[in-house]
Amino acid sequence: MSQMSKQDPLIENHTVDYVPLAERHGKARDLFTLWFSTNIAPLPIVTGAMVVQVFHLNLFWGVMAIILGHMIGGIVIALASAQGPCMGIPQMVQSRGQFGRYGALLIVFFTAIIYIGFFISNIVLAGKSITGIAPSVPVPASILIGALSATAIGVIGYRFIHTLNRIGTWVMGSALLAGFVYIFAHDVPADFFSRGGFNLSGWLATVSLGIIWQISFSPYTSDYSRYLPADIGIARPFLATYLGATLGTILSFTFGVVAVLATPDGTEAMAAVKQATGGLGPILMVLFLLNIISHNALNLYGAVLSIITSIQTFASQWTPSIRVRVVLSTLILAGCCVVALGTSPNFISQFIGLVLALLLVLVPWASINLIDFYLIKRGQYDISSIFSADGGVYGRFNLHAIVAYFIGTLVQLPFANTSLYVGPYANLVEGADLSWLVGLAVTCPLYYCLATRSQPAARGAVKLGFTD
């Protein structure tokens, strides 16, 4: 850590502005601990349990599909994360260099909804977890405790989030491994290895779920790598993010599979975790609660940056202060708490269904983002234009990106299999949502062809640490 970083204030003083080279700090390994610890949580464990309970795979085929899905999807999140040290700005601000200053607003809007949706869902989940651990605490009070804790972490910002996840990697990783050891050290049911089997639709659905899971993180990965030194290159942040994100999710998904197989058929996922791990169960529940709160800080942090990005689009000379971030965090907290306190019992499943449906708009964005950064501009962006009122060399709207984005979204609809919309070809492989594959296959070549046919010369572009 540099001498300057030791003098930095406790609360992060940057929002969506460029992080100067002199203020860069940290190591690539910080990205491993962030994404590993973030994914040791109840939601991925419950999702992993679906491999057995919904897709009816056995242990072997289920784990193979989990590994393959996350290894493929991890490439997207790692490539997005590796952009942070080069650019020194949040992911959504960077989108101005691809969509134009105003053209990026739509994806920023969708991303903010996703952040807020997950924030609300997680504070409800945290509230229920607190009440489960301490039944004397009413659910409304538990929700407020979970929300305030996550908000405090989000307000303090980047450095504190990384510190918590460095600690969380050791604590949560050790706890999860202890859970595995406990289960296999005791007798498992006779059908532990034979329950379920292989079916193509369930296997492909599991692979797709892993890929979509990883892609869903891509809109904010560089938010947590933009403080790294610019000369760190591409390979190290890519590898650290890839290993952290894939190992964390593979372990959590697999733990969900093992827990439900170690308990009677039909046992709810988190109940199965408590039952299968015996005396270790209550400790795991407390640790999972702490991890929900820590992870939810990322959702609040991302939501605040997205809202600031939207406002600054129309006020280019505005440089948000720490106070602005605190005020926005408080307003989001208040609004989310009002919604969370009035939720129905099945709110979480309904809202996550909405959020997963919105992933249809993230696939073409991720395609354009990666093609533009790695194949077209090769890491060379004009930072001053990104913050310019008229968009500088990127303009107010980049029609090439916007056309490719909307076509990439539309071609997914016939194959979409979401809670909000089911396309006419959604069941080509029953239970598997393959719309993401169509989105990638169409958007990547389409954008590349459109962007390279009449690529403007980006005068004044600065090469920011891109290496082959």
Query: Over 70: is that where the pLDDT of 389 sits?
Result: yes
The domain tally of the chain equals 1
For residue 187, is it within any domain?
yes
* Segment 33-43, tens digit of pLDDT: 989 988 888 88
pLDDT over 80 (residue 160): no
Q: Is 154 inside a domain boundary?
A: yes
Q: Would you state the torsion angle of the CA atoms of residues 139, 143, 146, 150, taken in this order, to the nearest 10 degrees? A: 170
Pick the more confident residue, 132 or 265.
265
Q: Residue 23: what pLDDT?
A: 86
The percentage of residues in the chain with a pLDDT greater than 90, rounded to a whole number, is 36
- For the segment 228-241, the average pLDDT, to the nearest whole number, is 94
Q: Is 434 inside a domain boundary? A: no
Per-residue pLDDT at 231 exceeds 60: yes
User: Is it the case that residue 433 has pLDDT exceeding 80?
Assistant: no
Q: Is residue 179 part of a domain?
A: yes
**Residues, the chain, total?**
468
Give domain status of residue 389, yes or no. Answer: no
Higher model confidence: residue 29 or residue 346? 29
What confidence tens digit (pLDDT) does each residue in 68-80 have? 999 999 999 999 9
The single-letter code of the amino acid at 324 is V
The answer to the question of residue 439 being in a domain is no
Question: If we measure between CA atoms, which residue out of 112, 92, 106 comes closest to residue 369?
Answer: 92
* Residue of 258, 287, 271 lying closest to 183 (CA atoms): 258
Backbone angles phi, psi at 422, to 5 degrees: -120, 120
Contact in structure between 40 and 171 (CB atoms under 8 Å): no
Structure tokens at 249: 């999710």
- Range of weakest confidence among 187-201, 290-304, 356-370: 290-304
Q: What is the CATH number of the domain that holds 226?
A: 1.10.4160.10
Boundaries of domain holding 78: 22-348
Question: Is 465 inside a domain boundary?
Answer: no
**Is 127 within 8 Å of 146 (Cβ atoms)?**
yes
- Residue at 416 is within a domain: no
Average pLDDT over residues 271-285: 88
The pLDDT value given to residue 157: 63
- pLDDT classification of 282: cutoffs 50, 70, 90: confident
| Chain segment 367-382, per-residue pLDDT in tens | 999 999 999 999 899 9
pLDDT, residue 62, reads 96
Rg from Cα positions in the chain: 22
